[in-house]
Amino acid sequence: MRVSPGLSPAPAPRGVGDSPFGFLVLDKPAGLTSHDCVSHVRRAYGLRRVGHGGTLDPAVTGVLPIALGPATRLLPYLSGAKGYRGVIQLGLCTSTDDLQGEVLARQSVPSLDQPALMLALASFRGDILQRPPRVSAVHVDGERAHVRARRGEAIELAERPVTIEALELLGWDPATGQLELRVDCSAGTYIRSLARDLGELLGCGGALASLRRTAALGFALDQACGLEALQSEPLPPLRDPLEALSHLPQRRLSEAEWPSWRCGRRLSGDTAVAAEQAVVILDPDGVLAGLARSDGAGQLQPRLVLDPAG
């Protein structure tokens, strides 16, 4: 395993050793899949145990958090909230709800000003139902929707609840029919669907022209590095997983509790923590030791022990 002398990884759990442990936040370029990026990271760090959180389409750029070593086991516990900046092209409908698909219809864009657009956008804020694009990774009868769609099958995906926390109009160009948006949303929200649905509401159709993810899984664009940073020494330092787990309550172990935790025994917890709530467990040194689930009655059941006994 090749580890750069300049690498300053997050503190590893007790007993894990000096293997890379933490998150690398990539600024994914256009044209690569998320899996392509994982392959680059595997080669750079000489590590097979690498995984990404929050798949990005090849045309989309921006924040792609990549977990290295034991941090891959933390991915299900990270916040699903995401942030985007995107450009929507009004006046057309496509088979994929973006400009990469086949154009199905073109219509003239009505005369719109910023107040009219802001009024239309207001209906998409908060908790809404959204239908994913036909060409998406949603499973339909055990198969990805995009696989069935590309075989020519007619697919009508069911609407799903999503939350759009913020939806801000950043710019509007009547000459081109393009508007730029900032979006903060829950996991499972499709900006392509937002483009399509906004176009439908305005009566002219719409498709996503470009998209850049600015935040995902608790990480932001200002923490990201480009793929070129993997081509030279020292390799980029890894982010401490505790940064991405800051949305969860914490419980620090005493030296006396440490052996019991490593054996998977229950811990006492805070009765104010709701049942099924994930709780970050820290070792006596304050380093991440794993995660537990609260039973709502003051007990914590281990769910992920990073340095188990034996």
Length of the chain equals: 310
pTM: predicted TM-score of the whole model, two decimal places: 0.88
pLDDT for the residue 20: 86
- Give me the active site residues, please: 57
pLDDT for the residue 138: 52
Q: How does DSSP classify residue 132?
A: P
Structural domains of the chain ordered from first start:
22-79+217-243 (3.30.2350.10), 82-212 (3.30.2350.10), 248-305 (2.30.130.10)
Assign residue 142 a region (left: φ > 0; alpha: ψ between -120 and 50; beta: otherwise): left
Q: How many CB atoms lie within 10 A of CB 36?
A: 13
CB 178 within 8 A of CB 198: no
For residue range 91-103, what is the model confidence (pLDDT) as tens digits?
Answer: 999 999 999 999 9
- Phi then psi for 194, rounded to 5 degrees? -60, -45
Q: How many CB atoms lie within 10 A of CB 137?
A: 12
pLDDT for the residue 157: 74
Strand partners, 173: 178
CA angle 222, 225, 227 (to 5 degrees): 155
pLDDT for the residue 145: 44
> DSSP of 83-102, one letter per residue?
EEEEEEEESEEESSSBTTS-
Residues of the chain with pLDDT under 50: 1-8, 139-141, 143-149, 151-152
pLDDT for the residue 17: 56
